[in-house]
């Protein structure tokens, strides 16, 4: 399972990098989304520890509980990533509307 | 145990007032008044915090929700935080007053002041927090507000530049989460004081973990390097900081890059340098110093070839960041003191120069220095204050920039004499050349923009610019003060550097002993 998640993290970051290097704005945004998913999965992967559910019971060592914190962290990171992706999508829409292109090569070179 | 509830105010006041600004969207005048109240009261709180930290010699801690460390989120104010806080509060107040008269009606109606408040929430939260994941969250608050401020107005150049800014910062955020995750995977805690203590324990310094620490350190260097504008990662900066209205450029150029540098200083001095000193390698600090050298010289080369007032200033942001990075990389008490002094000096001077650029733009309707000239005849007062700030940036003796550069270079020379590492000598020579080239490009602005004959019609009587002058006066005054009372400011930063170099006796002790009674 650990190897599988590690591979998926690698694939997500790899695909994200590939898409970020494309010229079309839409693919760049998809690449950014893949990056944030990869990071979240990595956060889950490293915090992954299988124990019993984290509800305090008498006579159990602290080590035998699952660590609930990574899930809380990922939730926060997902929400932030979601908001940021929504913002970039709106920005891309505005660029398409005002400048009539989503090609990064044509968006280069600001004036003034 | 005293809970220093005052530490929450620099975050809560702008947050609450930012929300009020959203509610009163149809009444820009009320929003402006509220923003000034928010910034002024934050500044007063910052003075109080600084007074408690520096003159009473204590480190203030606030456990949010009464959780005892290492659990829960904490706010900590040591001297570094208090110093940064007081300068960022001063800057946000002064730029806020400038923005009242500079920002047009359309932007004011579209939540400019709300986003301005949220930006300050993020900046102050990043300074205050003692929890590394919380640092990420405040970083994101700051970045979201900055995306909005950079795009507000929908001008074509703003859109093309801010898509790059947004994308690169989202990549940085993803890496930040990944870095925090991996670090948490090793040490199992998010409290920075607790991490700092754990990285020196033998149980956490296995051979595998040492490698992982290095990977995490490089991830953090990249993340804060993107935000701070360090050598290979600064290419987005000059474009992005030029396109928004000048009040926004000023707060971006003055504060945002310095938040990146602050985080670098905090995280490296608390976590990675300590792990590194235990493992016995020091190539990380060497890398940072070399990057600092490159950042200085390439930034100033960028400035030399430009003829756009604001672009020259944005390139100088990069070159000045190089000095700070060099100090952080060198890592001796003197060098860190110099770096902190350089950070606060730069917040003041860089913001001031951008504000002058705004007045220049308003009077001449352009930023292109080839098309302007002779402003000193029309507005001698503005020209005088520009000259003070420009000379302070270049490091001319009685002003603030001289002392920070002097302390940094002195620390560099001392370290070179001790270790005889040849690249140190090269970086020191580079920093002196950079200083000279900085003076050169400031003189270029002065000669092309303020001396000679006007090439474009300038009618100061018909332009509303007088209300913008007080903000510049404040900054020029502070720059002079920092030069005249350099010994006081040096003592502050030296104490801050000593606290950073010995976290066991200060930061870690204050945080971990701050247990909430059961």
pLDDT value of position B166? 92
Contact B93, B117 (CB under 8 A): no
For the stretch B9-38, what's the b/e string if a residue is b when 16 or more beta carbons lie within 10 angstroms of its beta carbon? bbbebbbebbebbeeeeeebeebbebbbeb
Q: How many angstroms separate the CA atoms of B78 and B270, rounded?
A: 13
Contact B444, B466 (CB under 8 A): no
Residues B314-333 pLDDT 10s: 999 999 999 999 999 988 89
Question: Nearest 10 degrees: CA dihedral of B213, B217, B220, B226?
Answer: -150
Pairing, β B74-77 against β B60-63: antiparallel
Q: How many angstroms separate the CA atoms of B307 and B303, rounded?
A: 8
**Encoding tokens for residue A57?**
């019971």
Q: How many angstroms separate the CA atoms of B322 and A73, rounded?
A: 33
pLDDT value of position B396? 84
Rg (CA), chain B: 22
Residue A112: pLDDT band with limits 50, 70, 90: very low
User: For A82, which residue in chain B has the nearest alpha carbon?
Assistant: B170
Closest partner CB to B159 (pick from A80, A87, A94): A94
A99 inside 8 A of chain B by CB: yes
Contact yes or no for B137 and A81 at CB 8 A: no
Closest partner CB to B182 (pick from A46, A85, A110): A46
Contact B349, B394 (CB under 8 A): no
Phi and psi (nearest 5°) for B135? -60, -45
Residues B20-61 pLDDT 10s: 999 998 888 899 999 999 999 999 999 999 999 999 889 999
In chain A, what are the helix, strand and coil shares in percent, each to the nearest 5? 70, 5, 30
pLDDT value of position B401? 86
pLDDT value of position B72? 86
Bridge partners (DSSP) of residue B191 are B131
Residues of chain A contacting B154 with CB distance shorter than 8 Å? 94, 98
pLDDT value of position B280? 64
Ranges under pLDDT 70 in chain B: 278-281, 460-461, 518
Q: How many angstroms separate the CA atoms of B372 and B448, rounded?
A: 7
Which value does ipTM take for this structure?
Answer: 0.92
Query: Cα distance from B514 to chain A (closest Cα, Å)?
Result: 22
Contact yes or no for B154 and A98 at CB 8 A: yes
The DSSP H or E segment spanning B224 is helix B207-228
3-state SS of B142-181?
Answer: HHHHHHHHHHCCCCHHHHHHHHHHHHHHHHHHHHHHHHHH
Contact B7, B75 (CB under 8 A): yes
Q: How many angstroms separate the CA atoms of B415 and B410, rounded?
A: 9
A89 inside 8 A of chain B by CB: no
For the stretch A21-41, what's the b/e string if a residue is b when 16 or more beta carbons lie within 10 angstroms of its beta carbon? eeeebebbbbbbbbbbbbbbb
Q: Which residue has the higher pLDDT, B349 or A106?
A: B349
Contact yes or no for B159 and A70 at CB 8 A: no
User: For A25, which residue in chain B has the nearest alpha carbon?
Assistant: B163
Query: Domains in chain A, start-ordered, CATH in brackets?
Result: 2-99 (1.10.287)
Residues B121-130 pLDDT 10s: 999 999 999 9
Q: Which of B67, B122, B131, B163 to mutate to test the interface with A (most CBs of A within 10 A)?
A: B163
**Other beta carbons within 10 Å of B173:** 25
Q: How many angstroms separate the CA atoms of B465 and B269, rounded?
A: 44
Contact B10, B45 (CB under 8 A): yes
**Encoding tokens for residue B150?**
């950079």
Closest partner CB to A39 (pick from B140, B167, B177): B177
DSSP at B466: G
User: For B243, which residue in chain A has the nearest alpha carbon?
Assistant: A112
Residue at token pair 């948490």: B184
Question: Nearest 10 degrees: CA dihedral of B285, B290, B292, B296?
Answer: 170
Q: How many angstroms separate the CA atoms of B322 and B354, rounded?
A: 19
User: For B369, which residue in chain A has the nearest alpha carbon?
Assistant: A112
Bridge partners (DSSP) of residue B368 are B308
Residues of chain B contacting A91 with CB distance shorter than 8 Å? 147, 151, 159, 162-163, 166
Residues of chain B contacting A98 with CB distance shorter than 8 Å? 154, 156, 159
Residue A111: pLDDT band with limits 50, 70, 90: very low
Bridge partners (DSSP) of residue B60 are B77
A11 inside 8 A of chain B by CB: no
> Between residues 45 and 74 of chain A, which touch chain B (CB distance below 8 Å)?
45-47, 67, 69-70, 73
Q: How far is CA A77 from CA A29, B139, B182, B224, B435, in A?
A: 17, 12, 14, 18, 41
Residues of chain B contacting A43 with CB distance shorter than 8 Å? 177-178, 180-181, 184
Bridge partners (DSSP) of residue B308 are B368
**Other beta carbons within 10 Å of A18:** 12
Closest partner CB to A43 (pick from B144, B157, B177): B177
pLDDT above 70 covers a percentage of chain A that reads: 93
Taking any CB pair shorter than 8 Å as contact, residues of chain B touching chain A are 133, 136-137, 140, 143-144, 147-148, 151, 154, 156-157, 159-163, 166-167, 170-171, 173-175, 177-178, 180-182, 184-185, 188, 190, 239, 242-243, 308, 367
Q: Nearest-CA neighbor of B26 among B104, B110, B102, B131?
A: B110
DSSP at B53: I
Contact A32, A88 (CB under 8 A): yes
A79 inside 8 A of chain B by CB: no
Contact yes or no for B159 and A20 at CB 8 A: no
**Encoding tokens for residue A89?**
């999508």
Residues B346-370 pLDDT 10s: 999 999 999 999 988 888 888 888 8
Q: How many angstroms separate the CA atoms of B302 and B315, rounded?
A: 6
Residues of chain B contacting A84 with CB distance shorter than 8 Å? 140, 143-144, 147, 166, 170, 173
Contact yes or no for B160 and A95 at CB 8 A: yes
Q: How far is CA A29 from CA A23, A40, A57, B157, B450, in A?
A: 11, 17, 46, 20, 44
Query: Cα distance from B87 to chain A (closest Cα, Å)?
Result: 28
Query: Cα distance from A81 to chain B (closest Cα, Å)?
Result: 8
Name every residue whose Cβ is closer than 8 Å to that of residue B219 and which is 6 or more positions away in sequence: B175, B176, B178, B179, B182
Residues of chain B contacting A95 with CB distance shorter than 8 Å? 159-160, 163
Name every residue whose Cβ is closer than 8 Å to that of residue A97 and which is 6 or more positions away in sequence: none
Residues of chain A contacting B143 with CB distance shorter than 8 Å? 84
Q: How many angstroms separate the CA atoms of B170 and A88, rounded?
A: 9
A94 inside 8 A of chain B by CB: yes
Residues of chain A contacting B190 with CB distance shorter than 8 Å? 69
Q: Nearest-CA neighbor of B130 among B53, B78, B187, B197?
A: B78
Query: Cα distance from B73 to chain A (closest Cα, Å)?
Result: 13
pLDDT value of position B235? 86
User: For B238, which residue in chain A has the nearest alpha carbon?
Assistant: A110
Residues A34-89 pLDDT 10s: 999 999 999 888 877 667 777 777 777 777 788 888 888 999 999 999 999 999 99
């Amino acid at each position: 399972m650990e190897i599988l998640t590690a591979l998926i993290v690698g694939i997500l970051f790899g695909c994200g990098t590939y898409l970020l290097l494309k010229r079309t704005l839409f693919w760049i945004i998809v690449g950014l989304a893949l990056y944030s998913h990869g990071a979240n999965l990595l956060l889950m992967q490293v915090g992954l520890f299988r124990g019993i559910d984290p509800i305090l019971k008498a006579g159990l060592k602290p080590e035998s509980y699952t660590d609930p914190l990574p899930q809380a962290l990922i939730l926060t990171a997902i929400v932030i990533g979601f908001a940021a992706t929504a913002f970039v999508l709106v920005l891309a829409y505005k660029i398409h509307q005002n400048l009539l292109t989503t090609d990064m090569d044509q968006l280069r070179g600001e004036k003034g | 145990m005293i809970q220093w509830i005052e530490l929450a105010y620099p975050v809560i006041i702008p947050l609450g007032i930012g929300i009020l600004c959203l509610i009163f969207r149809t009444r820009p005048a009320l929003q402006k008044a509220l923003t000034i109240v928010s910034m002024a009261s934050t500044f007063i709180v910052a003075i109080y915090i600084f007074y408690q930290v520096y003159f009473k010699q204590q480190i203030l801690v606030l456990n949010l929700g009464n959780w005892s460390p290492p659990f829960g989120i904490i706010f900590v104010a040591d001297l570094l935080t208090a110093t940064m806080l007081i300068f960022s509060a001063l800057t946000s107040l002064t730029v806020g007053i400038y923005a009242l008269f500079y920002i047009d009606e359309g932007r004011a109606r579209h939540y400019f002041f709300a986003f301005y408040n949220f930006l300050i929430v993020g900046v102050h939260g990043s300074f205050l927090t003692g929890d590394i994941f919380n640092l990420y969250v405040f970083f994101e608050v700051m970045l979201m507000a900055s995306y909005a401020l950079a795009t507000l107005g929908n001008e074509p150049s703003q859109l093309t530049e801010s898509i790059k800014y947004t994308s690169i910062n989202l990549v940085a955020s993803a890496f930040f989460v990944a870095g925090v995750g991996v670090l948490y995977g090793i040490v199992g805690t998010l409290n920075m004081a607790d991490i700092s203590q754990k990285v020196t324990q033998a149980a956490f310094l296995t051979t595998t973990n040492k490698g992982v620490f290095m990977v995490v350190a490089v991830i953090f260097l990249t993340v804060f390097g993107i935000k701070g504008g360090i050598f290979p990662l600064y290419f987005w900066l000059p474009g992005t900081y030029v396109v928004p209205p000048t009040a926004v450029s000023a707060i971006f150029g003055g504060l945002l890059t310095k938040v990146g540098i602050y985080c670098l200083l905090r995280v490296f001095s608390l976590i990675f340098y300590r792990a590194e000193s235990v493992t016995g390698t020091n190539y990380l600090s060497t890398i940072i110093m070399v990057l600092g050298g490159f950042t200085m010289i390439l930034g100033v080369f960028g400035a030399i070839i430009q003829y756009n007032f604001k672009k020259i200033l944005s390139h100088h942001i990069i070159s000045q960041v190089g000095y700070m990075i060099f100090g952080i990389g060198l890592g001796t008490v003197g060098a860190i003191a110099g770096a902190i002094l350089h950070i606060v000096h730069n917040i003041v001077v860089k913001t001031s120069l951008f504000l002058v650029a705004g007045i220049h733009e308003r009077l001449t309707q352009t930023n292109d220095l080839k098309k302007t000239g002779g402003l000193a005849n029309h507005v001698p007062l503005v020209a005088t204050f520009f000259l003070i700030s420009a000379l302070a940036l270049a490091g001319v003796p009685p002003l603030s920039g001289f002392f920070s550069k002097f302390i940094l270079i002195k620390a560099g020379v001392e370290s070179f004499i001790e270790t005889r590492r040849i690249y140190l000598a090269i970086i020191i020579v580079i920093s002196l050349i950079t200083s000279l080239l900085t003076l050169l490009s400031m003189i270029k602005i002065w000669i092309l923009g303020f001396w000679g004959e006007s090439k474009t019609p300038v009618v100061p009587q018909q332009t509303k610019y007088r209300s913008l002058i007080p903000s510049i006066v404040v900054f020029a005054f502070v720059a002079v003060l920092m030069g005249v009372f350099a010994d006081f400011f040096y003592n502050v930063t030296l104490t801050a550097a000593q606290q950073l170099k010995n976290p066991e006796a200060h930061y870690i002790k204050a945080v971990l002993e701050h247990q909430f009674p059961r």
